[in-house]
Amino acid sequence: MSHVLAVLEQRDGALRKVSYEVVTGARRLADALGGRVDALILASGAVKGTEQVGRYGADKVITLTNPAFALYAPEGYARTIAERIKSGSYGAVVFAASATGKDLAPRVAAGLGRPLAQDVVDLAVENGAVTVIRPVYAGKALMKLKVAGTPALLSLRPNVFTPVERPKAGTQESGAAAGPAGRVVVKAIKAAEAGTLDVAEAPIIVSGGRGLKEPANFKVLEELAAAFAGRAAVGASRAVVDAGWRPHADQVGQTGKTVSPTLYVAVGISGAIQHLAGMRTSKVIVAINKDKDAPIFKVADYGIVGDLFEVVPKLTEEIKKLHG
Amino acid sequence: MKIAVCIKRVPDSETRVKIAADGKSLDEAGVKFILNPYDEFAVEEALRRKEKAGAGEVVVIALGPAAAQETIRTTLAMGADRGILLQTDRIPADGLEVAKALAAELKGAGFDLILFGKMAIDDYNHQVGPMVAELLDLPCVTTVAHLEIEGMKGIAEREIEGGVEVVEFPLPAVLTTDKGLNEPRYPALKGIMAAKKKPLHVKPAALGAGGGALEILALTPPPERKEGKIVGAGPAAVPELVRLLREEAKVL
């Protein structure tokens, strides 16, 4: 019997949305392997949202606490997870390919001497072995890999594994995680402005490029994003980040973030290959550009040719009507 | 300050990807190769740290084919002191195998800092730096976008979803660098000339025979997005766009 360990993420004592995606991915593997899903949460105390984890397919929900685990503790987390993996018969371990997960998973993998497939967008079990698909060459190709031996360690790209309800017992267990915090200590999180969503996790992204003409004009995109009532983030092309108009945290593309939102609205973005690399897996793409020959229209599901300074405010108005 | 920078030779980000006849690898014919863009930040940071310290050495290490010597020369032209190529014709898909070979080279060499780019833009593995740290039992901070070092203590900032983590760590340490950390310099002509005379040691990469536990089954083009439609021109097309997003795409 081969079980699956789902490593969930919390911040400020509440489970992060990506955690439910991790449980969903883990459930798919566990069904194929004929095993159980154990969801593991590291925290400094009780975590909100753990009672929901069973709904998405976790048989057990294990919360391990340590006073040092309020914020991410890279070495303490890695050691605790590695010990947990060694103590169970896990065929696979699933992380989120979030900022934390992408840092944590390689430490755990190297500690166990096991390979790691990061940023997985699809997974399966074929002839008893875990296979994964992950984008390479900036999304210009998909690589299918087979993991030999167990456990298979993988991290899932956020926003790809839509949480599916698969009610299981979700039996709650808790315990203490022993050991010191480690040499690397997260002292604080400087939070972005309250209410701003990160482009890597937002279900809707409104992105701007050189067509915005100057930094102050991003206001029209911020207004559009605000009309989506807390579900949208503002992204940016490399050109405008390199010009210093927008922070690098907002950059979508090969040297920025790779995103898969439900809706991606590209405004005044021509669609350079390195930008397309970062957003081509979006579920629905809308392009607004005055150049009807812009390459962005080749990947867009819907396009409007026109002056963004006329089109975007009208779109904001229409979206507000929907939410009004 | 003695600093190692681990770099990778990768296809240019503008490359059109053509899949080779084996269906598992990139057809490299006509592909231009460059220094991995994230590694440029690592090289630049190493040079700045050495310059600030007023003494030290920057050693650049690459694992890759013979042609990666050119990539190393680029970093020597930027100002690095010497290079080491761990030569192999086949870079394993399993990042842990790469990490083991690099760790064997780095072990016991007395580096105060070991720098990597946060990921390579070809395989997107996003793991070799922290794996090397784990194998060498060194502190590690990944995706560093701001860095301060005083003596043997460092403070790094890294972007996370919706914020920035402030992380303290002791040296020696392994760091992986993100865009925003610095502005990498271009090699000057003088540097390019000097680079030709700098030492570059080539030796076989100490890779395991099996190539690791990840086997590439296939490399395929991403699914084509179906042909989209131009809804219309100007603000008059917006109501129809919103209708399509609601009723056809069902995303609103």
Confidence of residue A194 (pLDDT cuts 50, 70, 90): low
Q: Please report the pLDDT score of residue B75 as a whole number.
A: 98
Q: Name the percent of chain B lying above pLDDT 70.
A: 100
| Chain A residues near residue B124 by CB distance under 8 angstroms | 118-119, 134-136, 138
What's the whole-number mean pLDDT along residues A52-70? 96
Q: What are B227-240's pLDDT values in tens digits?
A: 789 999 999 999 99
Q: Please report the pLDDT score of residue B123 as a whole number.
A: 95
Q: How far is B95 from chain A (nearest CA, A)?
A: 7
What CATH number belongs to A3-176? 3.40.50.620
Contact call for B99 and A110, based on CB within 8 A: yes
What's the whole-number mean pLDDT along residues B48-65? 97
ipTM: 0.95
Number of Cβ within a 10 Å radius of residue A197: 21
Q: Please report the pLDDT score of residue A105 as a whole number.
A: 98
Contact present, A171 and A61 (Cβ < 8 Å): yes
Decide if A3-176 and A204-323 have a common fold: yes
CA A3 to CA A19: how far, in whole Å? 18
Contact call for A185 and B126, based on CB within 8 A: no
Beta bridge partners of A208: A236, A267
| Chain B residues near residue A318 by CB distance under 8 angstroms | 238-239, 242
What predicted TM-score, i.e. pTM, was given to this entire model? Answer: 0.92
Q: What are B73-86's pLDDT values in tens digits?
A: 999 999 999 999 99
Residue type, B17: V
Interface of A with B in 41-70 (CB under 8 A): none
Q: How far is A169 from chain B (nearest CA, A)?
A: 31
What's the whole-number mean pLDDT along residues A258-284? 93
Of A149, A263, A319, Cβ closest to residue B213: A149
Helix (H) or strand (E) segment spanning residue B43: helix B37-53
Contact call for A285 and B225, based on CB within 8 A: yes
Residue type, A41: I
Contact call for A185 and B169, based on CB within 8 A: yes
Q: Name the percent of chain A lying above pLDDT 70.
A: 98
Where do runs of H (alpha helix) occur along A199-306? 219-227, 238-242, 273-279, 296-299
Beta bridge partners of A250: none
Q: Please report the pLDDT score of residue A191 as a whole number.
A: 83
Topology annotation, domain A204-323: Rossmann fold (3.40.50)
Q: Please report the pLDDT score of residue B224 as a whole number.
A: 83
Q: What are B167-184's pLDDT values in tens digits?
A: 999 999 999 999 999 999
Ramachandran sector of residue B249 (left: φ over 0; alpha: ψ -120 to 50; beta: rest): alpha
Domain ranges of chain A: 3-176, 204-323
| Chain A residues near residue B232 by CB distance under 8 angstroms | 304-305
Q: How far is B197 from chain A (nearest CA, A)?
A: 32
Q: What are B111-135's pLDDT values in tens digits?
A: 999 999 999 999 999 999 999 999 9
Which domains can be identified in chain B, with CATH numbers?
2-204 (3.40.50.620)
